[in-house]
């Protein structure tokens, strides 16, 4: 099947970036949906800010920027967003209950041949697919933050995902300028986060144990492992609450002590120190 229209569910940290990439690189018509107009307004503001940076760097022209924005259609009307969408990408918070509610509502109004995907970083694709009556047309489509810059997309099979669905999603990811990697088994954390999360958690333990300051830990990892940014700064970008939620899912599903969240991480989330999106985490983003 050919993809012409994409619906992105959620205009937050990941959703707005996915919508931008779909409209910019693939030139898809994109419906961007959220539950409140203010969330949509903020998502569109972030898209404009990101495109402005591309414009300032000479990567796009003002005419191209206007065309990209013209292909993105924000709405709070779920039916309007998904009724004629060929590809639906769910990017709502990492809560099984929230995702279940959204996916069940989407299924009722989506086309029968629509492919439905989730950008989840930790929830089982097989579990999510069980909430709709055509699980063979469901799979994971996990983008990385920020979607505008990161090239990887993990395409994750659920237990009943068809080969045709995987093929459609792989081709869509390529059209968006991404490098898709097919994860053939639905395992918590898929590939990257299964490796990354214990490293992030260990970096938090280094702060908790006062081994070094956050900026020193980040600089050591950046220089020693040739990472583009340190683990604590990355946690601030991803969101401490999102990372904590992932660790708890991994701990429950895999039963491994290495996924036991550091007490400092739990304390910071309780205090609302979530990273960039709250203005403060391991770094003060209000000063930047």
Please report the pLDDT score of residue 224 as a whole number: 97
Q: How many domains does the chain have?
A: 2
Pair (165, 71) in one structural domain:
yes
Q: What positions carry a catalytic annotation?
A: 121, 142, 154, 193
Pair (33, 173) in one structural domain:
yes
Domain that holds residue 24: 5-183
Pair (170, 150) in one structural domain:
yes
Pair (248, 148) in one structural domain:
no
Question: Which stretches in the chain have pLDDT values below 50?
Answer: none
Identify the DSSP state of 181: E
Pair (85, 224) in one structural domain:
no
From residue 93, how far is each of 74, 106, 253 by CA, in Å? Answer: 18, 16, 19
Last residue of a domain, one of 183, 205, 237: 183
Question: What is the residue-wise DSSP string for 269-282?
Answer: HHTT--BGGGTBSS
154, 164 contact by CB (below 8 A)? no
Please report the pLDDT score of residue 121 as a whole number: 84
pTM over 0.95: no
Last residue of a domain, one of 183, 210, 229: 183
Pair (216, 168) in one structural domain:
no
Pair (157, 230) in one structural domain:
no
CA distance 174 to 9: 20
Please report the pLDDT score of residue 98 as a whole number: 94
282: CB partners within 8 A, 6+ apart: 207, 214, 232, 233, 235, 236, 275
């Amino acid at each position: 099947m050919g993809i012409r229209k994409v619906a992105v569910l959620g205009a937050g940290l990941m959703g707005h970036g996915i919508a931008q990439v779909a409209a910019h690189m693939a030139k898809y018509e994109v419906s961007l949906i959220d539950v409140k107009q203010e969330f949509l307004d903020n998502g569109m503001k972030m898209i404009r800010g990101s495109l402005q940076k591309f414009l300032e760097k000479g990567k796009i022209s003002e005419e191209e920027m206007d065309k990209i924005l013209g292909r993105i259609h924000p709405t709070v009307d779920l039916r309007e967003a998904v009724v004629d969408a060929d590809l639906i990408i769910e990017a709502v918070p990492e809560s099984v209950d929230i995702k279940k509610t959204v996916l069940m509502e989407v299924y009722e109004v989506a086309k029968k041949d629509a492919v439905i995907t989730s950008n989840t970083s930790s929830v089982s694709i097989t579990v999510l697919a069980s909430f709709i009556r055509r699980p063979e047309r469901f799979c994971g489509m996990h983008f990385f933050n920020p979607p505008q810059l990161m090239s990887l997309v993990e395409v994750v099979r659920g237990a009943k995902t068809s080969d045709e669905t995987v093929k459609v999603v792989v081709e869509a990811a390529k059209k968006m300028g991404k490098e898709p990697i097919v994860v053939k088994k639905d395992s918590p954390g898929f590939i990257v986060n299964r490796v990354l999360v214990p490293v992030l958690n260990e970096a938090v333990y280094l702060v908790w144990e006062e081994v070094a300051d956050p900026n020193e830990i980040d600089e050591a990892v950046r220089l020693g492992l040739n990472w583009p940014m340190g683990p604590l700064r990355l946690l601030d970008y991803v969101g401490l609450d999102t990372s904590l939620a992932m660790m708890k899912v991994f701990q429950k599903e895999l039963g491994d002590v290495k996924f036991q969240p550091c007490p400092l991480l739990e304390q910071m989330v309780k205090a609302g120190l979530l990273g960039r999106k709250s203005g403060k985490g391991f770094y003060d983003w209000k000063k930047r």
